[in-house]
Structure formats: structure tokens, C-alpha cells
């Protein structure tokens, strides 16, 4: 059976002050539809599959509120954040317990997709390939510009359909290298999506991350006894796992990794400027969510709560965000530096605003 595992444990500090510890990015309405959270949009795009969510234990109530139709047992709660290798291994353990032949598609909860039909076609092809072949199928995003904030996949020889072998995973490049990647046509952005048999993933973790596998095996044995026993063992053992990404822990070291190019209007919503990629702008290039008055202002991104108003006069190329009890003002070209402000809150004794 095909299962979609949505990873929803991130903090999204680059989208402060709307994204906070009490309501991270994936629970915000930052997609094209302002009445739908990113995680709700992700779940809606994969309707028809069995859907699971891996999240932090303190975010489980937010998941239940965002996805009320989701079965309680389909929410897998992490007692501590241990990055994506442990999170997906934990999900695979629960899937195999329910369905020994489970095929899992792993998707981040906090991405935006403009062409949902195009995404559905790529996801179906990826599921088909993972079901028929002993491979891990990634979705590589066709790059639109020389982005330095993403990892890349270098593609190799073609397979059946649109699939290509993955020659190597590449870390975030500098500008000149990213321009070379774009010009070559041999590189795709790593969108953090992949499809694989759950047992295959657990076998790879056992071979490449034995310490993590030992804990996952203990959780699997406990799950055979009872859900309550599995919860107890998870609470005791899981926080001791190393923090390792699935890319570094498994993908970069295993064999049989392939990719299917995806060109469906993808965005990781990695900063406030991303809203301009899929939200309409006014004649002066301003993108507004909420209530705003703009006088002699151009090229700004403005976000406010529904019961608040923001006024900009004579300013250009700023990001201005009012959310709750905090306000952010930053040049558009420094939107990625918002996390520095979040870190500075702690140093200033203002942790309550994080």
C-alpha cells in the first residue's frame, strides 16, 4: 500500500514573527490560498493515499487541529527533534508494523506547489517506480535560477520514463558554482521529497546508521507488544539518537538512488520574499497579505494580522511583517537573515517573543 509521510517538525525561524515556537511555519496560511495552512495544502495534494504525519510531541495538537480527518494513530510524535533520518526511520517502523509491504512517500509539510496536477503526475510516477524497483526515488526540482540556498542533485544516466540516476548529492553552492550548475542542465534542486519501500529504508539505516537502527529496532519490538509500550520506549530511547539528516545519513551513501525531475511551481517558502513568487503584486510591485496602506512605496512585501493595519510611506524593497505582539522590518535582499533577529531575542532576554 502507498503511504505519504508528511514531515512537520520544523521551526521556520526565517518566517518570524508569524512563525513561532507555539505555531511554526507549516501551520501558517502562506501558500497561494490565504485560508489554508501549508500542512493542510500538503495533505490535500496527496488525498487518496494513506497519510501520516511525523511531528514534535508539542506540535501534535496543532496537527490534529490542522488535519481533523487524520486518524490519531497516524500522528507519530517525536519526543525530541533528531533530524530527518531518525524521524523517517520512526515513521517507517510504524508503517511496517501496520503494512509490511508499505511504500512511503516522504514530503515536507511546509512547501508550496503551484501546479498541483503536475505534482500529482510526478508523485504517481515516483510511487510506481519505488513499487516496481529496489530504488529510492527522489523528486528533483528543475531549477529556475542559480539558487545558493538549496542543495543540488547531479543527474546521471536515464532510466525508464523521466527518471535519471543520481550521480551525487551536492551541498549548497556559492553563486558562481550555482550558475555553472544551471548552465550545464545536469543539476536539479534537492526538494527533500523521496519515495521508497519502508523496509528498504530501514535496511539502509541498519547498514549505514547502526546506532540509530538499534533504537528503531527496540521501538519496533515494543510496538509488537502494545502502542503504550512503544510510546514508553520511544520516550526513553529516541532523544539519545544523533541528529543526522536523511540525505547525509542514507542518501549520499547508499546505492540505487534515482530522481524524477519536477517542474510544478515549487517553492520551499524559505523566506518572506517567497510570497512574491506566487502571490499577485500591485502595479508598484508590492505584495500584501492583510491590511496595508502604501504611499509612494514599491517592491515591498507586507504582512499583517487581519485585525491590524500597516502603513508604508516612501520606502522601497522592504519586508514588513506584523504578527501578534512583534514586528519585523528588513530589506528584501536580507530576508534570509531573519534568523539572526530570532537568535538576538535570546541574547536580549526576549525569549518570550520567539
Residue pLDDT, tens place only, 247-263:
999 999 999 999 999 99
Give the integer Cα–Cα distance in Å for 211 and 205: 9
**Where does the chain hold its CATH 3.90.550.10 domain(s)?**
2-267
Give the integer Cα–Cα distance in Å for 190 and 312: 37
pLDDT band, very low/low/confident/very high, at 93 (cuts 50, 70, 90)? very high
Q: Are 219 and 78 in contact (CB under 8 A)?
A: no
pLDDT for the residue numbered 21: 87
Helix residue ranges, H only, the chain: 38-45, 60-66, 83-98, 116-132, 175-184, 198-208, 210-225, 227-237, 246, 338-347
CATH code for the structural domain at 2-267:
3.90.550.10
Please choose, from the candidates 189, 196, 132, 185, the residue with its C-alpha nearest in 3D space to the C-alpha of residue 160. 132
Phi, psi for residue 290 in degrees, rounded to 5: 110, -150
pLDDT band, very low/low/confident/very high, at 80 (cuts 50, 70, 90)? very high
Mean pLDDT, residues 138-159 taken together: 94
Give the integer Cα–Cα distance in Å for 9 and 219: 20
pLDDT for the residue numbered 34: 81
Please choose, from the candidates 76, 136, 62, the residue with its C-alpha nearest in 3D space to the C-alpha of residue 103. 136
- Nearest 5°: the CA angle 45, 46, 48 is 125
pLDDT band, very low/low/confident/very high, at 13 (cuts 50, 70, 90)? confident
Give the integer Cα–Cα distance in Å for 147 and 56: 30
Give the integer Cα–Cα distance in Å for 86 and 245: 8
User: What residues contact residue 338 under an 8 Å CB cut-off, 6+ apart?
Assistant: 13, 14, 15, 16, 271, 272, 328, 330
pLDDT for the residue numbered 266: 96
pLDDT band, very low/low/confident/very high, at 32 (cuts 50, 70, 90)? confident
Mean pLDDT, residues 64-89 taken together: 96
pLDDT surpasses 80 at 11: no
Residue pLDDT, tens place only, 153-197:
999 999 978 999 999 999 999 999 999 999 999 999 999 999 999
Cell of 16: 518570524
pLDDT for the residue numbered 3: 98
Q: Are 55 and 63 in contact (CB under 8 A)?
A: yes
What residues pair up with 187 in beta bridges, in sequence order?
Answer: 154
Other residues' Cβ atoms within 10 Å of the Cβ of residue 323: 20
pLDDT for the residue numbered 108: 97
Q: Give the residue carrying C-alpha cell 504582512.
A: 303
Amino acid at each position: 500500500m502507498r503511504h505519504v509521510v508528511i514531515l512537520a517538525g520544523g521551526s521556520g525561524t526565517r518566517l518570524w514573527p508569524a512563525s513561532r515556537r507555539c505555531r511554526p511555519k507549516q501551520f501558517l496560511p502562506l501558500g497561494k490560498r490565504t485560508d489554508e495552512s501549508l500542512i493542510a495544502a500538503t495533505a490535500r495534494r496527496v488525498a487518496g493515499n494513506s497519510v501520516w504525519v511525523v511531528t514534535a510531541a508539542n506540535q501534535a495538537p496543532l496537527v490534529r487541529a490542522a488535519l481533523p480527518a487524520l486518524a490519531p494513530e497516524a500522528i507519530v510524535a517525536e519526543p525530541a527533534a533528531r533530524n530527518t533520518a531518525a524521524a523517517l526511520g520512526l515513521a517507517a517502523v510504524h508503517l511496517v508494523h501496520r503494512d509490511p509491504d508499505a511504500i512511503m512517500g516522504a514530503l515536507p509539510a511546509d512547501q508550496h506547489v503551484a501546479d498541483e496536477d503536475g505534482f500529482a503526475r510526478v508523485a504517481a510516477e515516483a510511487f510506481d517506480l519505488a513499487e516496481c524497483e529496489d530504488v529510492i526515488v527522489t523528486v528533483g526540482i528543475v531549477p529556475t535560477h542559480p539558487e545558493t540556498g538549496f542543495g543540488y542533485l547531479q543527474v546521471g544516466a536515464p532510466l525508464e520514463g523521466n527518471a535519471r540516476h543520481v550521480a551525487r548529492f551536492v551541498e549548497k553552492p556559492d553563486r558562481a558554482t550555482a550558475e555553472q550548475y544551471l548552465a550545464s542542465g545536469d543539476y536539479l534542486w534537492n526538494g527533500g521529497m523521496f519515495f521508497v519501500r519502508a523496509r528498504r529504508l530501514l535496511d539502509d539505516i541498519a547498514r549505514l546508521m547502526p546506532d540509530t537502527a538499534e533504537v528503531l529496532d527496540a521501538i519496533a519490538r515494543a510496538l509488537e507488544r502494545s502502542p503504550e509500550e512503544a510510546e514508553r520506549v520511544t520516550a526513553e530511547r529516541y532523544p539519545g539518537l544523533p541528529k543526522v539528516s536523511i540525505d547525509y545519513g542514507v542518501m549520499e551513501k547508499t546505492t540505487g538512488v534515482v530522481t524524477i525531475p519536477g517542474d510544478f511551481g515549487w517553492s520551499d517558502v524559505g523566506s518572506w520574499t517567497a510570497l512574491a513568487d506566487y502571490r499577485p503584486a500591485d502595479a508598484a510591485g508590492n505584495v500584501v497579505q492583510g491590511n496595508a496602506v502604501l504611499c509612494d512605496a514599491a517592491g515591498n512585501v507586507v504582512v499583517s494580522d487581519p485585525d491590524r493595519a500597516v502603513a508604508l510611506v516612501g520606502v522601497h524593497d522592504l519586508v514588513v511583517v506584523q504578527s501578534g505582539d512583534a514586528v519585523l522590518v528588513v530589506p528584501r535582499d536580507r530576508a534570509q537573515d531573519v534568523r539572526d533577529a530570532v537568535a538576538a531575542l535570546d541574547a536580549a532576554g526576549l525569549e518570550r517573543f520567539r
